[in-house]
Structure 1
Amino acid sequence: MPTLPLVPLPRRVAPTEAASPFPITSATTVSGDTDAAGTLAALLRTRTGLELAATDDGDIVLSVGGGGEPESYRLRVGADGIRIDGADAAGLFYGIHTLVQLIHGTDAGWIVPAVEIEDAPRFAYRGVMLDVARHFHDVDTVRAYIDRAAALKFNHLHLHLSDDQGWRLEIRSRPELTRAASATSVGGGPGGYYTQDDYRAIVAYAASRHMTVVPELDMPGHTHAVGVAHPELAENPVLDAVVSSGGPAPRAGEPYTGIDVGFSSLRIGEDATYDFVADVFGELAELTPGPYLHFGGDEALGTSPEDFATFVARASEIVRRTGKTPVAWHEAGAAPGLARGTIGQYWSFVTPVDGADERARAFTRGGGRLILSPADAIYLDMKPHEDFPLGLTWARGATSVERAYRWEPSAVVDGLAEEDILGVEAPLWTETVATLEDIDALAFPRIAAAAEAAWSPATSDAGDRTWESFRVRTGGLGPLWTTLGIRFPASPEIPWTT
């Protein structure tokens, strides 16, 4: 059968006995799960302009509870219609998005090829991260990114809510954080923050798309903004620790608008620091129904190893006592007192450098697991090519779509079993990203490669799990992405369908 525009690649795709595709017309009807029917109707309206009527016995039947692995589904297109059975509501949701990918226009109208698909995810955690600290992104922009990610079967949204440039979440016990430290962003542009009601709205919207929000308040480094609001909690910038970009130098107590990293730290030895940690993560835990709270722990370059270890031990335990599972970047694996069960997020390269693999393995020895985010593969803020107007190049230069695709999660950190890997996450840092159009320009089409690494079978276990197959399948999604309003660049690496 011809290569179908399915990304991420399903576990199994086979033709059915039907001799011809199933037509989608103004007379097509849907029955079954009400929520799922509403989702499908909205997507079809956008994609085709057709209104899908609900009946008791539809041409498209949607059901939940057919058994199988969590988030799995079965989709069958035959002469008698279309049926999608989800093991749960999330599985049915993903099956609907697979169906929408299959719909394409012909001279005779809209059709769906006659196929049978059985599908389930490889990893339980499939994430995207949006940095709202370097540039603030409002609730509507976050919702739009949720829609884009959920359509590719991502199920976690990691929000990077604080950094040197700004604090972006209302903490009622610490009102100075947003009063004094939220108004600016990289380059001196406007900042902003989420009220607690804004944050709850994001969490609820994500849940309606079967996504869990993972909030991050980064510390002990990346905390210059905390020092603007609470100078008593922050050390002076350590300028000889800066990874410099040539921009403005940080000054204690003044908002920072550059993109250097490594210079800031909380005061590790002060009890007031841990009162602050308990306050902010206590409120964050109450606001967050999901199981994870991320406390950062990366690039504390001006902090001694001993102080860093002290902070990580105390902060991870504070998070654990909220009833949530702590998450930290892989540097925190160097701390012998890291709270048991903490999840590590690996951000070094596909081939580890500077001992990152050993720090990552430390999480699994402590009862935790790993989220893989190799920077030279799925950091979506890297330039796709050297001349691209947005993005950075520190992760081994520009990251092409092909490089974003050609990596295998199980091969990154030696000594890990498959069950040690919780999942895959594609971060989007926003030093150069100020608008939704910027997000689209850097994320697409490479976000599709990250989706396939997170959902699809390992490269050794599926014949079509190849670069050549992926680039053709992704190219077939161009018309769908266009109708969904995604302003993706037409990468020359992809043979786009017009």
Structure 2
Amino acid sequence: MKISKILSSTLLIFSFGLGIISCSEKAVPLSENHIIPKPLSVTDAGGSFALTGETKLIAVGNAADINPVIAIFQTMIKPSTGFDLQTAESGESNVIVFELESASQKSPGEYTITINETSIKISASNGEGLFNGVQTLRQLMPASLEGTALTVDKIQIAAGQIQDKPEYGYRGFMLDVARHFFSVEDVKHVIDLVAKYKINYLHLHLSDDQGWRIEIKSWPLLTQIGGKTEVGGGEGGFYTQEQYKDIVAYAQSKYITVVPEIDMPGHTNSALAAYGQLNPGITVPEKGAVPFDRTELGVDGMATPLYTGIEVGFSTLDTDKDITYQFVDDVIRELVEMTPGPYIHIGGDESLVTELEDYIPFMEKAQAIVTKYGKKSLGWDEIAHAKLETGTVAQFWAKAENAVLAINQGNQVLVSPATKTYLDMQYDSTTQLGLHWAAYIELDDAYNWDPTELDSAVKRENILGVESPLWSETITNREEIEFMMFPRFAAIAEVAWTKKELRNWESFSERLKKHTARWDAMGLNYYKSPRLVWEEKK
């Protein structure tokens, strides 16, 4: 009995001691936190704010715009702390205020965080700005917040102010779901990851030679046949229109706009395998061709075999047929009906067997169709050989001279140089995943560049933003996506968000080494780059 009482008392003292340790941890000064992307300015002040389960959340401004962000914050906090934070109409102490400034001069995405001993205030001009502020605030809290273990009963956050705004309005990530198909849940997982780093556009590469991934009701064989396989001969797959709408809505809930891509006139074998009338008579490379019995599907004899290889440039739509433009019109019309964002990506790259005199009028007609349905066109940089419609954006991936062609027509460019931003490139010659046709891209290569330094004719005002693509020739599952994205994606996200003058490798690498504790808590499968000097974690 005495032993039992002694043990009981010891456990109480031990538990109380842990509580004291937990509650008395000193707040890390704001300027010493490991925030990625790096904010515009950070100012330290004395004291700290103690976030507890009793902290109240207050909306100031349009509640319809603020409440979704508050809900995100509540959901973020609860799993690791158990704090069930409640809203309140008002309060002066132990409160977090989410404020929309109606007369604010803040740009979209811009925010300010002001912290003192009694309150935290996040202010912005729109919901996206508040959301970005929440992503920074989460990085002022312990890394264990990213996990699910109950680790603290109080979180100390140092006083001061963070003022922040994005360098570029378009900060994108592209996921290729055509070469290998990824489930709705995998896409949502990617959305969760990129949202943490203030990405606001998700570009989905929905069609290619190896697979057609979006249901088009007016052309049902696109998915019935074109969605049947993938690189290497897997079963492929596609998104129903309801599933696509679900992805779009989920992205919107994280202030991310979906940009769907239908690549054309090249990279189109999955469409040609479904509808032979679109085929001008191309020959599919023997390596990767997969013939199958279509006798019961009513497919005409011009249909090509399915294709599971990775060679590019062999396919093209027939640019002389009226049926081709009916096809393009129907596909874009159905995409527009499901896509609230401003852009439809119409591809245009590596159409090597399409003669230039056929390519140019085709891309002009495709743009006109997009414009007819009230959207703007995005296209890979080759699109600039055509006359660009007002608002069409050329995605600079390969040739600076193409970007300059777009700029000379008065259009902007989206910067995605393959040698810096292509996350499917191997880190080095020992990396098992990925390719290296563009470059080996180590962590410092992904960080040490600037969009304004790629070509003297590409000025800051010509650049809409930055996007990092992940092509999936060798990528087959969620863990492989994570490995190829991180840590390079964090580097490119900082290039897209942070002013050139504020970025330097030494600062980023030191912040990132400590920031990876968050990835450990998340269970993220990231690459431990030898460009960082790793400290053994206890």
- Who is 1:351 aligned against? none
CA contact (8 A) 1:128 1:154 kept: yes
* CA distance, structure 1, for counterparts of residue 515 and residue 466 of structure 2: 22
* CA distance, structure 2, for counterparts of residue 322 and residue 342 of structure 1: 14
Q: Does 1:151 align with 2:196?
A: yes
1:85 to 111, 118, 123: 123
* CA distance, structure 1, for counterparts of residue 255 and residue 497 of structure 2: 15
CA contact (8 A) 1:28 1:53 kept: yes
The 10-residue stretch of structure 1 (208-217 or 252-261) with the greater mean CA deviation from structure 2:
252-261
The 10-residue stretch of structure 1 (2-11 or 278-287) with the greater mean CA deviation from structure 2:
2-11
- Who is 2:14 aligned against? none
Q: Does 1:186 align with 2:204?
A: no
Alignment partner of 2:225: what SS? helix
* CA distance, structure 2, for counterparts of residue 224 and residue 50 of structure 1: 52
* CA distance, structure 2, for counterparts of residue 389 and residue 298 of structure 1: 27
Q: Which residue identity lines up with residue 406 of structure 1 in the other structure?
A: N
- Who is 2:429 aligned against? 386
Alignment partner of 1:170: what SS? coil
Alignment partner of 1:102: what SS? coil
2:221 to 176, 184, 193: 176
* CA distance, structure 2, for counterparts of residue 308 and residue 250 of structure 1: 27
CA contact (8 A) 1:15 1:114 kept: yes
CA contact (8 A) 1:23 1:111 kept: yes
Q: Does 1:52 align with 2:94?
A: no
CA contact (8 A) 2:289 2:308 kept: no
Q: CA deviation at 1:420?
A: 1.2
Q: CA deviation at 1:324?
A: 0.7
1:248 to 285, 288, 297: 288
1:220 to 250, 265, 269: 265
* CA distance, structure 2, for counterparts of residue 47 and residue 84 of structure 1: 22
* CA distance, structure 2, for counterparts of residue 483 and residue 144 of structure 1: 16
- Who is 2:39 aligned against? 10
Give the 5 Å matches for 1:337-352: 337-348=387-398
* CA distance, structure 2, for counterparts of residue 214 and residue 180 of structure 1: 24
* CA distance, structure 2, for counterparts of residue 427 and residue 334 of structure 1: 22
* CA distance, structure 1, for counterparts of residue 68 and residue 337 of structure 2: 28
CA contact (8 A) 1:235 1:264 kept: no
Q: Does 1:481 align with 2:523?
A: no
Q: CA deviation at 1:138?
A: 1.2
- Who is 1:353 aligned against? none
Q: Which residue identity lines up with residue 256 of structure 1 in the other structure?
A: Y
Q: Deviations over 1:258-316 (max 9, x none)?
A: 11111101111111111111111111111111110010000011122211112112212
Give the 5 Å matches for 1:401-440: 401-440=443-482
Q: CA deviation at 1:238?
A: 5.1
CA contact (8 A) 1:478 1:496 kept: no
Q: Which residue identity lines up with residue 463 of structure 2 in the other structure?
A: I
The 10-residue stretch of structure 1 (196-205 or 99-108) with the greater mean CA deviation from structure 2:
99-108
- Who is 1:293 aligned against? 344
CA contact (8 A) 1:237 1:250 kept: no
Task: Specify whether residues 347 and 105 from structure 1 end up closer, same or farther in structure 2 by C-alpha distance, changes over 3 A only.
Answer: closer
- Who is 2:411 aligned against? 368
Task: Specify whether residues 54 and 340 from structure 1 end up closer, same or farther in structure 2 by C-alpha distance, changes over 3 A only.
Answer: closer
Q: Does 1:334 align with 2:372?
A: no
- Who is 1:26 aligned against? 53
Q: Deviations over 1:387-441 (max 9, x none)?
A: 1221111112x20000000001111132233221000001011111111111111
Alignment partner of 1:476: what SS? helix
Q: Choose 1 or 2 for highest CA Rg.
A: 2
* CA distance, structure 2, for counterparts of residue 183 and residue 249 of structure 1: 13
Q: CA deviation at 1:25?
A: 3.3
Q: CA deviation at 1:47?
A: 4.6
Alignment partner of 1:403: what SS? helix
CA contact (8 A) 2:317 2:324 kept: yes
* CA distance, structure 2, for counterparts of residue 112 and residue 494 of structure 1: 28
Q: CA deviation at 1:384?
A: 1.7
Q: CA deviation at 1:455?
A: 0.9
1:65 to 101, 108, 112: 101
Of all paired residues, the percent bearing the same amino acid is: 41
Alignment partner of 2:139: what SS? helix
* CA distance, structure 2, for counterparts of residue 494 and residue 50 of structure 1: 35
Gaps of 5+ in 2: 1-28, 60-65, 145-150, 292-302
Q: CA deviation at 1:250?
A: 7.5
Q: Does 1:111 align with 2:156?
A: yes
TM-score where L is the length of structure 2: 0.84
CA contact (8 A) 1:47 1:483 kept: no
Give the 5 Å matches for 1:153-168: 153-168=198-213
Task: Specify whether residues 366 and 273 from structure 1 end up closer, same or farther in structure 2 by C-alpha distance, changes over 3 A only.
Answer: same
What is the RMSD computed on CA atoms of the aligned residues?
2.1
CA contact (8 A) 1:342 1:366 kept: no
Task: Specify whether residues 457 and 38 from structure 1 end up closer, same or farther in structure 2 by C-alpha distance, changes over 3 A only.
Answer: same
CA contact (8 A) 2:143 2:518 kept: no
* CA distance, structure 1, for counterparts of residue 36 and residue 196 of structure 2: 10
The 10-residue stretch of structure 1 (481-490 or 387-396) with the greater mean CA deviation from structure 2:
481-490
* CA distance, structure 2, for counterparts of residue 382 and residue 34 of structure 1: 40
Q: CA deviation at 1:115?
A: 3.0
- Who is 1:41 aligned against? 74
Q: Deviations over 1:61-84 (max 9, x none)?
A: 222226212211101222223211
Q: Which residue identity lines up with residue 100 of structure 2 in the other structure?
A: V
TM-score where L is the length of structure 1: 0.91
CA contact (8 A) 1:47 1:480 kept: no
1:443 to 472, 482, 485: 485
* CA distance, structure 1, for counterparts of residue 158 and residue 420 of structure 2: 33
